A = this chain, B = another copy of it.
Amino acid sequence: MTTTDTPLEPWQWPEEQWRGIVGHVRAGRSYRPASWPGGKRCAVALSFDSDHETNELREGGKSIGRLSWGQYGNRVGVPRILKLLARYDVKATFYVPAVAALLYEDEQRRVVAEGHEIGIHGWIHELNSVLPYEAERDLMFRSTDTLERITGVRPVGLRTPSWDFSPSTLKIETELGLQYDSSLMADEDCYELMLDGQGTGIVELPVEWVRDDAVYFMMHRMQSLRPYTPPADVLDIFRRDFDAAYEDGGIFQLTMHPHIITQRSRIWLLEELIRHAKSKDVWFATHAEVAAYAKANAV
């Protein structure tokens, strides 16, 4: 191959280039247990990304209307979620950017006091893939320390903001000594994350856009995003996903956002979903618990 000054187009890439890109971060062995604790048939892992004002701060913080959504998340959203989880005695995981945690320290302490997990979600919901390694590492360590200082518990898992996993993210996760990540989509079961072909021991608890409330309900005036899908249909999608996960003996994992799912026209669907799952033989658990159990009991 001749060296040129202009970058090659993907269709011109030599094999080592595309193999290198594909092989950098990879799903390795499956961490799938024969059954879940107490012989339960299915694990249910609910999560809430408490982004609050960082949703707008990360874009420069220019819209006061969108900032008010952040306060709604703290004022209405998280309390409504905690009340619902308590009513059904369900534990869940909250991923909180450090800046959101600093704005609402009491909220984080209440979340932990009620038995839920708090995981890392970046500093100010920044996109990792545009950061140099040093900056991403620094923000990630500071975020972890900040959450620990506020809640008294050191986080063991990371959800990258916007599921934007950079080429450095996995290396930083190993440096931080994390137990799990929840940002990627290579499987429905947990799996080991591989870095350039080497196992890291870090568990991936996979997410999927199809199981994210923002996908159907997000509104962004300037980005042509609209909440076009009716809530009843979103419930149908989530319920079908749960039913198939249950049939399969797997994990039903869900990502939600306080200012989105708690709207009065939507919160009922989460309650309906929890009631439906509770009528079956399932184990509700935090993402950390699911990841740890899956790894320890993989068959």
Q: Which residues of B contact A233 (CB under 8 A)?
A: 230, 232-233
Mostly, the A contact residues are helix
Residue-wise interface mask of A (60-100) relative to B, using a CB-CB cutoff of 8 A (1 in contact, 0 not): 11111101111110011000000000000000000000010
**The one of B18, B61, B62, B169 that contacts A61, using a Cβ cutoff of 8 Å:** B18
Q: Are B240 and A231 in contact (CB under 8 A)?
A: yes
Report the minimum CB–CB distance from A184 to chain B (whole Å). Answer: 4
Question: Known contacts A53-B22, A64-B25, A123-B11; is A241 also within 8 Å of B264 by CB?
Answer: yes
Question: Known contacts A124-B10, A263-B208; is A68 also within 8 Å of B238 by CB?
Answer: no
Question: Known contacts A185-B65, A244-B264, A265-B210; is A26 also within 8 Å of B228 by CB?
Answer: no
Give how many A residues have a beta carbon under 8 Å from the other chain's beta carbons.
87
Report the minimum CB–CB distance from A276 to chain B (whole Å). Answer: 14
Q: Which residues of B contact A238 (CB under 8 A)?
A: 265
Q: Determine if A150 is an interface residue (Cβ-Cβ < 8 Å).
A: no
Q: Are A68 and B11 in contact (CB under 8 A)?
A: no
- Give residues in A with beta carbon < 8 Å to B: 9-11, 13, 15, 18-19, 21-22, 24-27, 53, 57-65, 67-72, 75-76, 99, 102-103, 123-124, 126, 129, 131, 135, 139, 162-167, 169, 183-188, 208-210, 215-217, 219, 221, 223-233, 236-238, 240-241, 244-245, 248, 263-268
